[in-house]
Structure 1
Amino acid sequence: MSIADDEAEKAYPTRYWSGTRVKEQFSCDTDDLREAYLRGRNAPPADVEVEAVARKLIWRDMAPAWKNVMPSEDCFWNQAEPEMRANYLRDAREMLEIARKAVNE
């Protein structure tokens, strides 16, 4: 199950009719669907998203120095000091928030 699926299941657990394996159903209109889309679009970035961007940023910063031996993308992240990782996480979160803000303006 993906992280998004897991988060959705926690927020809106699957409900079944009492004592059966038949899922409850509800009806919604396009306004409801639009509202759900906007909530997802406006949600703050998840920690997993932030870390994925931070890992890519540190790799792009460090990779040019390793032209002859290209380590994996995880190599630099795993060997970085906690303070360095924290800086990249902060920068990644800021970048994602800037991107989300641009979409919503």
Structure 2
Amino acid sequence: MSIAENEAEKAYPTRYWNGTHVKEQFYCDTDDLQEAYLRGRAAPPADAEVEAVAKKLLWWDMESDWEDVMPSDDCFWTLTAPEMRASYLRGAREMLEIARKTVNE
């Protein structure tokens, strides 16, 4: 199950009719669907998104030091000092928030 699916299940757990295995259903119109879409686009970035961007940024910064063998994003990430990782995480979060703000202006 993806991170997004886990988050959706936590926010909106599956509901069943009184003690049965029949899922409750509801009906919505296009305004409801548009509102849900907009909420998703405006949501703050998930920690997993931020970490993925931070790892890639670190990898790009370290890439020029490795000519023959290019380690994975995770390799650099695990070898990097916690303070440096925190810096990359702050930068990644800021970039993702800027992108979301631009989409919602």
TM-score of the pair, normalised by structure 1: 0.97
- State the one-letter code of the partner of 1:63: E
Render the CA deviation track for 1:62-100: whole Å, top value 9, x for unaligned.
011101221122111000000000000000000001111
Give, in whole Å, the separation in 2 of the partners of 1:99 and 1:90: 14
The more displaced of 51-60 and 70-79 is: 70-79
Matches within 5 A, 1:37-52: 37-52=37-52
Give, in whole Å, the separation in 1 of the partners of 2:34 and 2:69: 48
5+ unaligned residues in a row in structure 2: which ranges? none
Render the CA deviation track for 1:23-42: whole Å, top value 9, x for unaligned.
00011111111111111100
The runs of 4+ residues in structure 1 deviating greater than 6 Å are none
Q: 1:78 aligns to what?
A: 78
1:12 equivalenced with 2:12 (yes/no) = yes
Identity rate, percent: 77
CA-based RMSD of the aligned residues comes to 0.7
Q: 1:30 aligns to what?
A: 30
* Total equivalences in the alignment: 105
The more displaced of 65-74 and 81-90 is: 65-74
5+ unaligned residues in a row in structure 1: which ranges? none
Q: Which has the higher contact order (CA 8 A, sep 6+)?
A: 2
Q: 1:68 aligns to what?
A: 68
